[in-house]
Copies of this chain bind each other. A is one copy, B any other.
């Protein structure tokens, strides 16, 4: 999990990973001003933009031995609760003898997330004290007094009948939707599932139409069961994409193999256009300017539940591959992997989870855009969240002080230069903003977006997907299904 780059001979050892001086978080009382447009909330960035010579540059110029290691995971170690192969048989036998809890599809995604340590230090579904801290404080206090971020309740709901069936048993077996025994949940605690309060505190609204709520909370049971997980074997989806599902441990190994001295994560659930690519490439350039020798991009599409009108994972993965094939992003300095979490569309609450999970995978820089994890209000004609709240909340979130938050510069289509470029407010009329909805409309109608919006290979993937979709929708079988 660490690497040493020998530069020359002097004996100084400098930790390249975190530079407290350069990445100072926004203090609570100093941000009482309107946001500046660009990378405003991070002291690091003012250094980047002012082209000041950073410390470690000087150090490397003067020829130190530079020791680098990846950012420490929350709680100190990446949780891994997958049962070792040698114990699988005995644990499976034991699980068979226990009262059973039948998992919904979403629960399996969370078992996957917990099992690999994305939610470290969480070792299982939340017990009530963890749930309450998550709901009220977006963080957990550890026994040693340190605080880790934990903004989304990661909970398992059960119904009255299952609760009764469990009775006073402390351990239960978790069974997948297909009837496979997946895991044991140990030392369980059952407590009330107050759905209204959970929804209100997580989403900041109880309006009907929130995708995660409608699909998974409203139909769920009135109890939550917390406990420590032992997962009988790694969760696989057999959809041809499992090789992209690298665990935090695997990602850390990969970053170490590539001798990364900075890892910057880009969370997405949409196709990559050239504006995204510009931003990612620009971030790398600036990290190099800051003195990092080998910043690695983690291009990290979300792979769990997404709402019906989002582009499906398999299509997005194909599109991302084209972006790398076409050279828009450099495969040498980019790791593409799937983040197995489901989407909540819970804006400022969820973006903390997205960032925190990437710390556990080794990322010490996190790029955050406009309205992260946001969506339209389900019943009113407006954004559900203030588009600036995501980055503000993320920048102030407890337990994320060690992460460098990089607010997005807005990229748009420059109709003069005929390419995606950082928006220049002094000639705003030259820029064309192409939203996700607009992009999908182009692809759906077969209309081409302006040249330079997306690499042709990537665009073709989208056009073909929408053609297939429309063909399916047009068949009577699909309509009657």
Q: State the A residues within 8 Å of B (CB).
A: 25-34, 127-130, 132-133, 136-143, 145, 147, 151, 187, 189, 192, 194, 196-197, 200-201, 203-207, 226, 348-349, 385-386, 389, 392-393, 396-398, 401
Q: How far is the CA of A25 from the CA of B26 in the complex (A)?
A: 28
In the complex, are the beta carbons of A204 and B201 less than 8 A apart? yes
Q: Do A189 and B34 touch (CB < 8 A)?
A: yes
Say which residue of B28, B34, B143, B203 sits within 8 Å of A141 (CB atoms). B28
Partner of A204, one of B127, B138, B197: B197
Q: Nearest-CB distance from A383 to chain B (Å)?
A: 10
Can you list 22 contacts pairing A with B, beta carbon distance less than 8 Å? A26-B129, A27-B143, A28-B129, A28-B130, A28-B142, A28-B143, A29-B130, A128-B392, A132-B393, A136-B349, A136-B393, A137-B139, A137-B397, A145-B401, A194-B204, A196-B207, A197-B205, A200-B204, A200-B205, A201-B204, A206-B206, A398-B398
Contacts of A142 in B (CB 8 A): 27-29
Q: Are B398 and A129 in contact (CB under 8 A)?
A: no
The answer to whether A129 touches B392 (Cβ under 8 A) is yes
B187:A386 contact, CB within 8 angstroms: no
User: What are the residues of chain B within 8 A of A348 when measuring CB–CB?
Assistant: 132, 136
User: Is A398 touching B147 in the complex (CB atoms < 8 A)?
Assistant: yes
Contact A389 B143 (CB under 8 A): no
Residues of chain B with a CB closer than 8 A to A196's CB: 204-205, 207
- Give the complex CA separation of A226 and B26 in angstroms: 18
Complex interface: chain B residues within 8 A of A30 (CB)? 143
Asked whether A129 lies within 8 Å of B194 as measured between CB atoms, the reply is no
The distance from the CB of A349 to the nearest CB of chain B, in whole angstroms, is: 7
Tell me if B197 and A398 are in contact (CB < 8 A): no
Of the listed residues A137, A139, A205, A397, the one surrounded by the most CB atoms of chain B closer than 10 A to its CB is: A137
Q: Within the complex, what minimum Cβ distance (angstroms) separates A337 from chain B?
A: 29
